[in-house]
A = this chain, B = another copy of it.
Amino acid sequence: MLQLMKTLVVGANGKIGRIYCRIAAERGIPSRALLRDPEQRTYFESIGVETALGDLEDEFASTLEGCDRVVFTAGSGGKTGGDKTLLIDLYGAIRVIEACEATGVDHFVMVSAMRAEQPLAGPPAIRHYLVAKKLADERLRASPVAHTILRPGLLTDEPASGRIRVDVAPGSGHKISRENVALCILASFDQPSARGQTVDLLDGDEPIATLFAARDCS
């Protein structure tokens, strides 16, 4: 039986989500964009990506039907308050993970954030955001669903270089282009050794194609 791999993109209308959907469509990789607002459909129709309407603060579980992969790149963004960080970035993520557990999703890729593991060491303005990402990551790690956690640094709109680094030692830079992050999501789904891994991501010199292959899976 031919298995069709379709990926539900949660947060599809965000910057990384839109880039991911475009690149996936260019490569013929099936995606479904989870959208909250019907007016967001135009872009996805223009790039040939299927859409489904749902709301992380309400109902969305039916949009998982027929999907065996999920990427979570939803974020309430900097324009809303900490209440939405709690409701979307954290509780939205938990509810999506629970729905994936209920429906038997095969692989979940989480777009987290660099240094999420130590929220109180982060800049005061984003500490609450780092707490949300940390707790969502921990919930995913405790799940039986296979998962990969990507933790990019400061996001830029530069075009993809196709090359990254996972060494976040001080002095190694702290930026990564969103296009590179989208390519790393695709690599996560492609490479069996990506399962169970948490990796920091910065622009660098390592080809994305060898991101997980080159890493110790322990």
- Taking beta carbons and an 8 Å cutoff, which residues of A are in contact with B? 57-58, 81-87, 90-91, 94, 119-120, 127-128, 131-132, 135
Given the complex, which residues of B lie within 8 Å of A57, measured CB to CB?
Answer: 120, 127
How far is A85 from B86 in the complex, measured between Cα atoms in Å? Answer: 9
Whether A86 and B120, one on each chain, are in contact in the complex, defined by CB atoms closer than 8 angstroms, is no
Q: How far is the CB of A112 from chain B (nearest CB, A)?
A: 16
Chain A binding surface, main DSSP class:
helix
Among B81, B87, B127, contact of A131 (Cβ-Cβ < 8 Å): B87
Please give, as numbers and ranges, the residues of chain B lying within 8 Å of A84 by CB-CB distance: 82, 128
**What is the CB-to-nearest-CB distance from A55 to chain B, in angstroms, rounded to a whole number?**
10
* Distance in Å: Cβ of A85 to nearest Cβ of chain B: 6
A132 / chain B contacts, CB cutoff of 8 Å? 86
Could you jot down 13 A-B contacts, CB within 8 Å?
A57-B127, A81-B82, A82-B82, A82-B84, A83-B127, A83-B128, A85-B86, A86-B90, A86-B128, A86-B132, A90-B135, A91-B131, A135-B135
Q: Which residues of B contact A86 (CB under 8 A)?
A: 82, 85-86, 90, 128, 131-132
What is the CA–CA distance of A97 and B57 in the complex, to the nearest angstrom?
Answer: 28
Nearest Cβ on chain B to A19's Cβ, whole angstroms: 28
Shortest distance in angstroms between A214's beta carbon and chain B's nearest beta carbon? 34
Task: Tell me which of A86, A87, A132, A135 has the highest count of chain B C-beta atoms within 10 A of its own C-beta.
Answer: A86
Give A51 to B91 CA distance when docked, in angstroms: 35
A81-B82, A82-B128 are known; give 20 further A-B pairs, CB within 8 A.
A57-B120, A57-B127, A58-B120, A81-B81, A81-B83, A82-B82, A82-B83, A82-B85, A82-B86, A83-B128, A86-B90, A86-B128, A86-B131, A87-B127, A87-B128, A90-B131, A91-B131, A91-B135, A94-B135, A135-B135
Most B CB within 10 A of own CB, among A81, A82, A84: A82
